[in-house]
Structure 1
Amino acid sequence: MMKLFKTMLISTLIISQLLMASAVSAEQADASQSAAEQTTANPQNEAKTDMTEEQAERPGETPVTEEAPDTEQTADPQETAGNGPATVDPAESQEEQDLLILKANSDKMIHNGTEYTALQPVTVKDGNSYVSLRSLAERVGINVSFDNSTKETVLQSGGHEIRFKMDSATYTVDGVKKKAHGPAYSQNDIFMVPLTTITQALNIPLTFNAETKEIILNLYSAPSAEFIVKTQDIRAEQTRVEYEDRSSHPRGLTIVEERWEGKEEIFQEPGLHVITRWVRDENGVWSKPYSVTVNVRPAKQPPVAFFVTNQDTYRMGELISIQDQSTDEEDSIVERKWDNKERAFFTPGQQTIKLKVTDKYGLSSEYEKTITITEETLYTRDDFNKLYTPVGEKYTFNGGSVLELPKIQFKSTDWGKVLLRSNSPESVTTEGVVYDDTINGDMRFLIHHKNISNQNLKFYVVATNPYDFDVAFGIEHVGFAGPNEFESITGQKSLQRYFESLQKGGVRQTVNLAPGESKLILTDLSARAAKPGQVVSMMADLYSDAPVRYRVVAVNESKDVMASLPFLTLLDRDGVHIRGTYQGSNRTISIAETIGDKPARMMLADKTDDPFLVGRDFMNGMDSVNLGNYGVYYTIYLEKVAPNTLISFNPRGGLYSGVFMVNGELVPAPESGNLNNRDEASVLYRTGSREEKVTIVFSPASGSNLPVNLLFYPLPDKKD
């Protein structure tokens, strides 16, 4: 290192002594530089050419750089992206030289043997060698411009920006300030910069030939052929491989050609594959090779579909136990599709059950098994369904027979929260206020709206403190679903999430309102806009220590709701659906007598056995009946449910999709899809061999139809 330093020092002193003989004074700057032509400054590599402060004072000294030896890099067998030069180069004989020779104390510039005249000679000023920035930039292939607002000379270079300023001993690269080897100045109206500073900024190697007294700049610049393999898991004969171009040029030249070795769209053979690429720029310069090694795994085998039954022969109405034993080498089965899979069959003969399994790669296989159903009957269809339909799933039966069941008579008690129901107009055609009321204390929101306008709407709840003192309120429980085009499923999901919030307990959020302040609350509702045809549904419990004004509004997704609020009109009811404010929205029903020892039913939300809440629509001042009791929170205490009793749920008004809490456990009704009509029922609970207390929590689900029945049946005796 000491020997190298001494050599550099001697070279620098020779250049300095030679150039100082013809130094000239500075005049005003050239401010009419032309528009920039892109090239490259490489600030990330600048550390390789930086001189020490001592070396900077020695004009012409050669910066020392280190280059890593070429090596091939292999990606991790589990990865498919890496980098490293390859071993084969189609442009191997290409010389990596593009030489510019500056004559000492001369304006002559020899570029690859051709002589050019610089605007000013290489000049020494205050111990620093200076060159004409424009003349050097032209040879490098860069045009310069002038920023009149900052009075800076600017070079745009391959995505980087270099700025020099008159009489300043600093310059910037991409906004980062650097120390120059001397201040820029004007010489005969030509902008002059320190030679070592501009070559360092442009990452140009510089040497001095002591014998010929020449400063030699190597302007050679090659593109990079970098790329990545985006596909992570590559399988022979199966995977279509995706590549991403990451090539670049240090001076922003256009890449016009590429060459590949080992690149395949679909690899045919497993193992390690080396993919190599070269690129050529518009000047005909080829890059070094760039390689990525990928591990191509053997072709993925499809999953194996397989199942067993506990028997090969069954009686009619006998439970069929099926055990899925399908396998996959990566445990990546994403779909199981059954055909003719029944819990029991009720006609004699051969029955073929089929299973198709599909993995995440789209590969699949099928398996089938044929069983025999004899002419002997174990259970009728009705008895079998009562015994073996899983909780949460539905079964079919003669819905007309329900009307023959005796009704369970009960009385109810209403108490607790004020209900604010916003459901009319259910189908919103334009922006506006869909409900507005001021509530004090505990309250419950039930919001259910569909966007049928021609714009994307967001639904908001705005809470306003109408008083001159602070008001605090809390958000206790929230269930939200949507936007979604399926009304009944959206209503079911919002109710399910409300019940889940109840199970977790506690206050979800507390809010303080200053006098006159308005805030957005229940922001899940407005997180995403509802597109035309989509539904939003929410049920939420709140409380406050003073009256709060609540407004439910619909606004175009692009607008500021608070700015729009004063200009929104009050939307009229649709004449079919309900909105209003109702007192006592918690309803408790207690039944002390024994239930389930004989078939019976309990009718809910029918107006007669289970009356509707009556309240007021404070948007128009009219009385409002909560048809269906949507938003009412039912707690049904059954003190004595007989042993071996089936409790199921049967809609009477049409399609229904809801959820219950039975003894604290969530039970969908049904687990998937809908109860489509009165001939379908969903299993809620079965008692065991002893009498039990059963507590059922229920609230009519938005988007579904009422009234509904709870059905109670003694279970049939089990047979062998």
Structure 2
Amino acid sequence: MNVKKLYRAVAAGLLMAGALWGSAGAVDPADPAVMGKVVRFPMKHIAMKDPVDTGTLIFSDSPEYPERPGILYGDKVSGDCRVYFYHMNQSWETCNVVVMAYNPADEPVDAVVKGCQYARPSSSIYSVGKTLSMMYYEGDETIHTVSVPAHGYALLGERLDHVVIWRGQLFSGIVDVELPSPMYVSTIMVPSEEDPIAFVQKQIYLPSDSVKLRGTFTGKDREWDALFSYAPKDGPAYIKVGGEDDRYLVGRDVMDNRLSVNVGNYGVEYRIGLRTKGKGDLHLYFNPQGGEYAGVMEVTYNQGKKDEVRKIVELPPHALSIGKEDVYSMQYVDTFRAGTDVNLRFMPPGAANLPVRFIVVPDEDLRSIAGEAKTDA
């Protein structure tokens, strides 16, 4: 008898004896004792297709602790772009971090800003990461255009210039923009009392720090679908984000003239598709394995003939972070019916750690595991 059948046999015996709680043996999927058993239960890896990366990501996280104002990072880009910045002011003056575009063309160009989100400056790195993620997935941005003059500058996301950052405060934000022609896009830390357009023309470039976590990357969005439909008979299984089957983006730091690796895939939005078949409930869990994690994810699916179900889930909901020095930490996310096609969206925020796993557990297996947890209690 294999391990899975053994667990099911034990649970069946407990049900016959009335040992499980509830009239129908109902199990709470969020019970910490049950989750503690789930995360250690034998499970298989869900085979995934090759990911499809689209768009351009400018990631600005070096120097992470700038000690003076200046240009943090910049590159010439076009098309569908995202700027993700993450910096803590270590200068002795109040500053702003802005995103600036320079148009090298002989005619004005309209940049289409599709979103600008930021978290309130704070000394709490996990609070900033989670808040920014929540702003991104709950935000309802109005698309607007910014006219960038010929051979001139313009701010992308003017609200950023109104956020004052004191020494020791972290500021992080996301600007999504469509550029119809190539422009130079830069992140700049500006003294609060100075005009950012006048300041950028001083051309003060800041050197990267020892971590060198910045650069330009192909792949601001990663579409990643399961190779086969998952069925309850497959037993507990997982999708692992980060690690050997999920590569980090490799790009270029043009200011340092070197290759750059986005270790952590910060600022990359994952769009994971999981098709399911069969009958019965499926329970979805989140399991960080790379260290502390604080963020948000979106779960969408169609439930029968109803409209699309969309849920925003904090990771974690009742604490600042999850997974500190504990690879077995677990969070219940949602339950849906087999036969549902589920889409997961999330973006690893600054200070969060990969790899993480999304674990799917059929209800029958959960009952078996819960029976074991009940016996051990």
For the 8 Å contact 2:292–2:322, the answer to whether it is kept is yes
The alpha carbon displacement at 1:562 in A equals: 2.4
Matches within 5 A, 1:189-338: none
Q: Tell me the distance in 1 between the aligned counterparts of 2:166 and 2:34.
A: 35
The answer to whether the aligner puts 1:681 opposite 2:326 as a matched pair is: no
Q: Tell me the distance in 2 between the aligned counterparts of 1:560 and 1:378.
A: 67
Deviates more, 1:659-668 or 1:562-571: 562-571
- For residues 334-389 of structure 1, give each alpha carbon's deviation from its aligned partner in whole angstroms, at most 9, with x where no partner exists: xxxxxxxxxxxxxxxxxxxxxxxxxxxxxxxxxxxxxxxxxx9636xxx9985245
Q: Tell me the distance in 1 between the aligned counterparts of 2:34 and 2:138.
A: 26
Q: 1:681 to 1:590 in 2, by over 3 A?
A: same
The alpha carbon displacement at 1:394 in A equals: 12
- Among candidates 533, 539, 553, match of residue 174 of structure 2: 539
Q: Tell me the distance in 2 between the aligned counterparts of 1:710 and 1:446.
A: 24
For the 8 Å contact 1:650–1:709, the answer to whether it is kept is yes
The alpha carbon displacement at 1:651 in A equals: 0.8
* Structure (1 or 2) with the larger CA radius of gyration: 1
- Among candidates 218, 221, 224, match of residue 583 of structure 1: 218
- Counterpart position of 2:52: 414
The answer to whether the aligner puts 1:605 opposite 2:242 as a matched pair is: yes
- For residues 235-257 of structure 1, give each alpha carbon's deviation from its aligned partner in whole angstroms, at most 9, with x where no partner exists: xxxxxxxxxxxxxxxxxxxxxxx
Q: Secondary structure of the equivalent of 1:442?
A: strand
The answer to whether the aligner puts 1:452 opposite 2:101 as a matched pair is: no
Matches within 5 A, 1:90-129: none
Q: 1:447 to 1:410 in 2, by over 3 A?
A: same
- Counterpart position of 2:8: none
Q: 1:395 to 1:698 in 2, by over 3 A?
A: farther
Q: 1:569 to 1:576 in 2, by over 3 A?
A: same
Q: Secondary structure of the equivalent of 2:62?
A: coil
- Among candidates 14, 20, 34, match of residue 378 of structure 1: 20
Structure 1's unaligned 5+ residue stretches are 1-375
Q: Tell me the distance in 2 between the aligned counterparts of 1:709 and 1:613.
A: 19
The alpha carbon displacement at 1:410 in A equals: 1.1
Q: Tell me the distance in 2 between the aligned counterparts of 1:489 and 1:475.
A: 26
- For residues 3-56 of structure 1, give each alpha carbon's deviation from its aligned partner in whole angstroms, at most 9, with x where no partner exists: xxxxxxxxxxxxxxxxxxxxxxxxxxxxxxxxxxxxxxxxxxxxxxxxxxxxxx
- For residues 142-198 of structure 1, give each alpha carbon's deviation from its aligned partner in whole angstroms, at most 9, with x where no partner exists: xxxxxxxxxxxxxxxxxxxxxxxxxxxxxxxxxxxxxxxxxxxxxxxxxxxxxxxxx
Matches within 5 A, 1:273-672: 378=20, 387-388=29-30, 397=36, 401=40, 404-501=42-139, 504=140, 507-591=142-226, 592-597=228-233, 598-606=235-243, 608-640=244-276, 643-663=280-300, 664-672=310-318
The alpha carbon displacement at 1:708 in A equals: 0.8
The alpha carbon displacement at 1:437 in A equals: 0.8
Q: Secondary structure of the equivalent of 1:440?
A: strand
Q: Secondary structure of the equivalent of 2:29?
A: helix
Q: Secondary structure of the equivalent of 1:630?
A: coil
Q: Secondary structure of the equivalent of 1:680?
A: coil
Structure 2's unaligned 5+ residue stretches are 1-17, 301-309, 372-377
Q: Secondary structure of the equivalent of 1:525?
A: helix
Matched AA of 1:671: P
Q: Secondary structure of the equivalent of 2:127?
A: helix
Matched AA of 1:540: V
Q: Tell me the distance in 2 between the aligned counterparts of 1:433 and 1:519.
A: 15
The alpha carbon displacement at 1:565 in A equals: 1.9
For the 8 Å contact 1:386–1:646, the answer to whether it is kept is no
Q: 1:384 to 1:623 in 2, by over 3 A?
A: farther
Normalization by structure 1: what TM-score? Answer: 0.44
Q: Tell me the distance in 1 between the aligned counterparts of 2:313 and 2:355.
A: 19
- Aligned identity (percent) is 27
Q: Secondary structure of the equivalent of 2:158?
A: coil
For the 8 Å contact 1:596–1:646, the answer to whether it is kept is no
The alpha carbon displacement at 1:577 in A equals: 5.0
Matched AA of 1:710: F
Q: Tell me the distance in 1 between the aligned counterparts of 2:288 and 2:27.
A: 17
- Among candidates 320, 327, 345, match of residue 697 of structure 1: 345
Q: Tell me the distance in 1 between the aligned counterparts of 2:221 and 2:33.
A: 28
Q: Tell me the distance in 2 between the aligned counterparts of 1:415 and 1:527.
A: 33
Q: Secondary structure of the equivalent of 2:46?
A: coil
Q: 1:454 to 1:394 in 2, by over 3 A?
A: farther
Normalization by structure 2: what TM-score? Answer: 0.81
For the 8 Å contact 1:431–1:568, the answer to whether it is kept is no
Which structure is higher in helix share?
A: 2
The alpha carbon displacement at 1:578 in A equals: 1.4
The answer to whether the aligner puts 1:706 opposite 2:361 as a matched pair is: no
Matched AA of 1:430: R
Q: Tell me the distance in 2 between the aligned counterparts of 1:570 and 1:398.
A: 52
Alignment RMSD: 2.7
The alpha carbon displacement at 1:522 in A equals: 1.5
Q: Secondary structure of the equivalent of 2:276?
A: strand
Q: Tell me the distance in 1 between the aligned counterparts of 2:20 and 2:195.
A: 66
- For residues 370-423 of structure 1, give each alpha carbon's deviation from its aligned partner in whole angstroms, at most 9, with x where no partner exists: xxxxxx9636xxx9985245xxx9996269727x53222212332321111111
Q: 1:479 to 1:595 in 2, by over 3 A?
A: farther
- For residues 243-282 of structure 1, give each alpha carbon's deviation from its aligned partner in whole angstroms, at most 9, with x where no partner exists: xxxxxxxxxxxxxxxxxxxxxxxxxxxxxxxxxxxxxxxx
Matched AA of 2:20: L
Q: Tell me the distance in 2 between the aligned counterparts of 1:571 and 1:398.
A: 49
Q: 1:568 to 1:513 in 2, by over 3 A?
A: closer
Q: Secondary structure of the equivalent of 1:417?
A: strand
Matched AA of 1:706: L
- For residues 562-603 of structure 1, give each alpha carbon's deviation from its aligned partner in whole angstroms, at most 9, with x where no partner exists: 222233422122222511111132211222321554111211
Matched AA of 1:605: G
The alpha carbon displacement at 1:518 in A equals: 0.8
Q: Secondary structure of the equivalent of 1:585?
A: strand
Q: 1:514 to 1:653 in 2, by over 3 A?
A: same
The alpha carbon displacement at 1:641 in A equals: 5.5
- Counterpart position of 1:208: none
Q: Tell me the distance in 2 between the aligned counterparts of 1:680 and 1:430.
A: 39
- Counterpart position of 1:117: none
Q: Which has the higher contact order (CA 8 A, sep 6+)?
A: 2
Matched AA of 1:603: K
